[in-house]
């Protein structure tokens, strides 16, 4: 290489190459992180339903809609009837509410996209946690400030165990059964 070409390589190509490597590294890092623990996952939904409006501004209780949270394994997404108890009369000329009504009238469940999911081989139960006094925000952060629900924390085994090991300190007054919540069989049955 002649000196001028070498200069060109160092001054122009090298910085560009370094920048490209850095960008692609950052991209793969964040993409693979999202695949690994789901944090930041925010699927779009078939109807522009907003938690910020309903649970935040209107202050509707989480369990008015998520009726399973203190009774069963699943918190459950509400059936369309729950929405229609208000939207038979509220905002009926909004296109989004007309979409809602079409699902309701045709008896078609709304295809809400699941946000949080742990693998089938692991066992989780909402009611145990809610009845021990945990709040939705302990695991799902401030859903009442979210337009679209976003996964805020990882639901990896490490994260479950981190809380199970330290729950004594975080939730004083909790009668944690000695170490039961760290046994494999508790979550893998
Ligand atoms: C008026 C009914 C209603 C109220 C009130 C409500 N939600 Fe929801 N929630 C829904 C619907 C419908 C979905 C499914 C669509 C979506 O994800 O936005 C949902 C989804 C969710 C999800 C994601 C479920 C998944 O797929 O992983 C979480 C977490 C959640 N809600 C938590 C809360 C919390 C916490 C509150 C109270 C601060 C609350 N919700 C109040 C109706 C409601
Ligand atoms: C101890 C952590 C924890 C707490 C507290 C918690 N959740 Fe969840 N939530 C999870 C996990 C883990 C999943 C995924 C469960 C699965 O894949 O079976 C989930 C999934 C959900 C889902 C979708 C699947 C389902 O179970 O119906 C909804 C809706 C939901 N949570 C709402 C709530 C609401 C509302 C509260 C408060 C009343 C709450 N959660 C409290 C950890 C928690
Ligand atoms: C307790 C009553 C109540 C329930 C239950 C309720 N909503 Fe609403 N919703 C409202 C109110 C009030 C507004 C705001 C109307 C306004 O802007 O004047 C609203 C607004 C909306 C909007 C925005 C409409 C627009 O175009 O501005 C959508 C979409 C919506 N709701 C969907 C739903 C869905 C889906 C459910 C069930 C998961 C639901 N709502 C349950 C009271 C309710
Ligand atoms: C924010 C704290 C917290 C997080 C996060 C958490 N847990 Fe728990 N978990 C608790 C507490 C508190 C108990 C109650 C312990 C007791 O009954 O003594 C509990 C109990 C349980 C139990 C015992 C149920 C029974 O039959 O006694 C299971 C199963 C469980 N958790 C699964 C999970 C899984 C799976 C995850 C992760 C996806 C998780 N937990 C995340 C706090 C947490
Ligand atoms: C508090 C609940 C909890 C306890 C206790 C628990 N696990 Fe898990 N485990 C999970 C969850 C949730 C997952 C799935 C999420 C993940 O991959 O991190 C998982 C995943 C796994 C995996 C798959 C990991 C992978 O990378 O694919 C193995 C293997 C496993 N656990 C073994 C164990 C063993 C062995 C024990 C006892 C020493 C144990 N677990 C105790 C909740 C638990």
pLDDT along the chain (189 residues), means of 10: 59 61 54 66 97 98 98 98 98 98 98 96 95 93 97 94 81 58 91
Q: Give the position, in ligand 2's atom list, of the atom nearest the Cα of 155.
A: 12
CA 89, distance to chain mean position in Å, is 31
Among protein residues, the one whose CA lies closest to atom 21 of ligand 4: 181
CA neighbor of 68 nearest in space, from 28, 138, 142, 127: 127
Give the side-chain half-sphere CA count within 13 A for 149. 21
- Rounded distance from Cα 66 to ligand 1 centre (Å): 7
- Rounded distance from Cα 132 to ligand 2 centre (Å): 14
pLDDT at 32: 47
pLDDT at 132: 87
* Long-range residue pairs from 140-147, CB within 8 A, at least 24 positions apart, any chain: 140/116, 143/51, 143/55, 143/62, 144/51, 144/52, 144/55, 144/56, 145/51, 145/52, 145/56, 146/51, 146/52, 147/50, 147/51, 147/52
CB of 164 closer than 6 angstroms to any ligand 5 atom: yes
CB of 51 closer than 6 angstroms to any ligand 2 atom: no
CB of 144 closer than 6 angstroms to any ligand 2 atom: no
């Amino acid at each position: 290489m002649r000196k001028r070409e070498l200069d060109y390589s160092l001054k122009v190509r090298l910085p560009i190459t370094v920048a490209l490597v850095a960008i692609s590294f950052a991209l793969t890092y964040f993409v693979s992180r999202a695949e690994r623990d789901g944090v930041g996952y925010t699927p779009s939904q078939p109807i522009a339903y907003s938690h910020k409006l309903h649970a935040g501004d209107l202050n509707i209780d989480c369990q008015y809609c998520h009726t399973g949270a203190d009774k069963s394994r699943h918190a459950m997404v509400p059936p369309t009837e729950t929405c229609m108890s208000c939207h038979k009369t509220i905002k009926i000329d909004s296109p989004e509410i007309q979409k809602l009504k079409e699902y309701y009238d045709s008896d078609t469940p709304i295809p809400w996209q699941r946000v949080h999911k742990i693998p089938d081989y692991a066992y989780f139960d909402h009611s145990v946690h809610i009845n021990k006094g945990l709040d939705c925000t302990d695991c799902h952060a401030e859903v009442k400030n979210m337009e679209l629900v976003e996964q805020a924390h990882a639901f990896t085994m490490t994260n479950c165990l981190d809380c199970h090991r330290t729950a004594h300190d975080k939730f004083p007054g909790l009668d944690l059964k000695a170490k039961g919540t760290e046994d494999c069989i508790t979550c893998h049955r």
